[in-house]
Structure 1
């Protein structure tokens, strides 16, 4: 699914963008495609999990969110390995995230509740980062991109500086 979305973004959605900008835009596109449904599905799956003193076994809806996220992170990791092999921060982030998701899903089958809460928080910031990245790429030639970029600069800087 994410491979098809990546190709669609690269060759259809962003076809009028510079070939230099399209890979990063396609990566942002699949990140946005992952983020919103992941937040909705994760929220739904954890809301259906009863409170317990110890972490319950991972439920089928939680496994679905983990599988969806594993697919996204795998595709985006391939993207970074091909187009940005020296970006060790993002590559390391994707590898670490995949390790956690795969371990939770396939090895221990526990702990998804906590991981999905973190996923919800992470994807909220990811939306801002992807919007800012896309606006940054085109702010020099599109007024609306410059306005969006300027709108997001304070929040992105706050996240980067305040951590």
Structure 2
């Protein structure tokens, strides 16, 4: 309880930090971008500030844990990393609620993610190992995804952005597919087998562990559908380009 109380201030500090970054991005870094693109670009900037640092922080937190496992008690460092991610997702949730209130899919994704992080961090105080591994799998592609997203947003009016988008798309799609389509499901399967066996019921109520699994399975399924659509679009564009080249010969 003492460690919990001492670490509570981390969350408002992280939340304030991400809010400041968002405001700087919106009113400073991307002030010359069109009103339609500024919100998404600002969201990408706070994602840069969260994604890659979260991967390293979560990795260190897991490596420093004396007794790891799906039911292991959270360490103070792990709780700090969870607070860091909660602060980010709260900020990005406000972004979607204000600029894209009709984007129910992303709003529900952020609410579900926050439920997993908050219950792990503040309710059961166990299971951070599993949640942080999932965080690593979710955020290890974030740098590439944010860069690809920004390039995509400006590819129609900035030639170098169009070139970057074209160069990045195939390797990014491969990277994302391997992580979300193979590594993620494999880990979630192990996580599901453990929690459904009841081995963690003494420290993590079954309804919470099952809800974690449901949230993650849905999130991975949506990610797989998203990348599958991108692969299909890339194939259509490639086929169309080849047909145009044939006609020009």
Coarse TM-score class (shorter-chain normalised): over 0.9
Matched position secondary structure for 2:147 = helix
Distance in 2, Cα, partners of 1:7 & 1:53:
39
1:10 aligns with 2:26: yes
Deviates more, 1:137-146 or 1:34-43: 137-146
Corresponding residue for residue 75 of structure 1: 91
1:128 offset after TM fit, Å?
2.4
| Closer/same/farther in 2, CA of residues 76 and 150 from structure 1, 3 Å limit | same
1:85 aligns with 2:101: yes
Distance in 2, Cα, partners of 1:117 & 1:90:
21
| Closer/same/farther in 2, CA of residues 53 and 116 from structure 1, 3 Å limit | closer
Corresponding residue for residue 71 of structure 2: 55
Corresponding residue for residue 116 of structure 1: 132
TM-score for the superposition, normalised by structure 2 = 0.62
Q: Is the 8 A contact 2:68 2:129 kept in 1?
A: no
- What RMSD over aligned residues (CA atoms) do the two structures have, in Å? 1.8
Matched position secondary structure for 1:55 = coil
Larger Rg: 2
Corresponding residue for residue 37 of structure 1: 53
Q: Is the 8 A contact 2:69 2:129 kept in 1?
A: no
Distance in 2, Cα, partners of 1:53 & 1:96:
23
Corresponding residue for residue 161 of structure 1: 228
Distance in 1, Cα, partners of 2:228 & 2:69:
36
What is the number of residues matched between the two proteins? Answer: 163
Q: Higher relative CO (CA 8 A, sep ≥ 6), structure 1 or 2?
A: 1
Task: Give a deviation string over 1:107-133, Cα, whole Å, max 9, x none.
Answer: 000000111111111101222222111
Gaps of 5+ in 1: none
1:99 aligns with 2:166: no
1:40 offset after TM fit, Å?
1.0
Distance in 2, Cα, partners of 1:90 & 1:53:
30
